[in-house]
Amino acid sequence: MYLVAGLGNPGASYKNSRHNIGFMVLDAFSRDRGVSHARQGFQSRFARTTWGGTDLVLLWPLTFMNNSGMAVRAAADYYRIRIADILVIHDDLDIPPGRVKISRGGGAAGHKGILSIISHAGSSEFPRIRVGIGRPRYGEAIENYVLAACYEDERENISGAVSAAVKACELIIEEGIEQAMNKVNRHNLSKEEVSD
């Protein structure tokens, strides 16, 4: 069983913000699975489904980003899901818009949602799908930048990244993280040159 957690903030005012890209990916993933009725629990919206014969718990924490770990830990404990089977989808400032990377373990790199999960889980050894949002162009404060919608000329790249992140979820579940990393981390939807 996998716990797939998409990170974001609840409420209409945050719906299209860069910080909510985890929610966007999980929304798309659940639509593709025909999952439309998420329940309330674990301080989250959540749903149960299967993919490729694997049971999945899809989790949209409603704790606000900085307390995501509370929801993730509660769901993982209830379903007895080990840390290596908690897949977290989140935005990443250090990856250009349109780029998706899979990683396992490591620090939070300043991401408060990931920091919260590490703190509550007691480990950083969980897989992550990191969806690039890039950094501010116009000197915006990071706090404001992540809570704003993407620039107009990035919308196509962001939309492509959401689709690529859905595919990354499928690959991790079907083939395991190593194979998924080999396939996804070389795929670049961004127009920028990126070195691995």
What are the tens digits of pLDDT across the range 96-125? 998 999 999 999 999 999 999 999 999 999
- The model's pLDDT over 140-163, given as tens digits with 9 standing for 90+, comes to 999 999 999 999 999 999 999 999
Q: Is residue 178 part of a domain?
A: yes
Instruction: Give the confidence band of 195 by pLDDT, cuts at 50, 70, 90.
Output: very low
H-helix or E-strand containing 49? strand 44-51
Q: Is residue 175 part of a domain?
A: yes
40: domain range? 2-184
Residue 193 has pLDDT above 80, yes or no: no
Q: Regarding predicted confidence, which is higher, 35 or 186?
A: 35
Q: List the catalytic residue out of 19, 90, 111, 120.
A: 19
pLDDT at 88: 98
Q: Is residue 191 part of a domain?
A: no
Residue 191 has pLDDT above 60, yes or no: no
pLDDT at 188: 63
Q: Is residue 71 part of a domain?
A: yes
Q: Is residue 20 part of a domain?
A: yes
Residues sharing a CB contact under 8 Å with residue 122, sequence separation 6 or more, in sequence order = none
Instruction: Give the confidence band of 33 by pLDDT, cuts at 50, 70, 90.
Output: confident
Active-site residue flag, 19: yes
The CATH number that applies at residue 168 is 3.40.50.1470
Q: Do residues 137 and 151 touch, judged by C-beta distance below 8 A?
A: yes
- The model's pLDDT over 47-73, given as tens digits with 9 standing for 90+, comes to 999 888 899 999 999 999 999 999 999
Tell me how far CA of residue 122 lies from CA of 72, 83, 105, 191, in angstroms: 12, 9, 12, 38
Q: Is residue 88 part of a domain?
A: yes
Instruction: Give the confidence band of 190 by pLDDT, cuts at 50, 70, 90.
Output: low
pLDDT at 44: 97
Q: Is residue 193 part of a domain?
A: no
- Measured between alpha carbons, how far is 115 from 64 in angstroms, rounded to an integer? 13
| Number of domain units in the chain | 1
Backbone angles phi, psi at 71, to 5 degrees: -70, -45
Residues sharing a CB contact under 8 Å with residue 17, sequence separation 6 or more, in sequence order = 8, 9, 146, 147, 148, 149
pLDDT at 196: 44
Q: Do residues 167 and 30 touch, judged by C-beta distance below 8 A?
A: no
Q: Is residue 190 part of a domain?
A: no
Residues sharing a CB contact under 8 Å with residue 137, sequence separation 6 or more, in sequence order = 151
For the record, the structure tokens of 125 come out as 């050894």
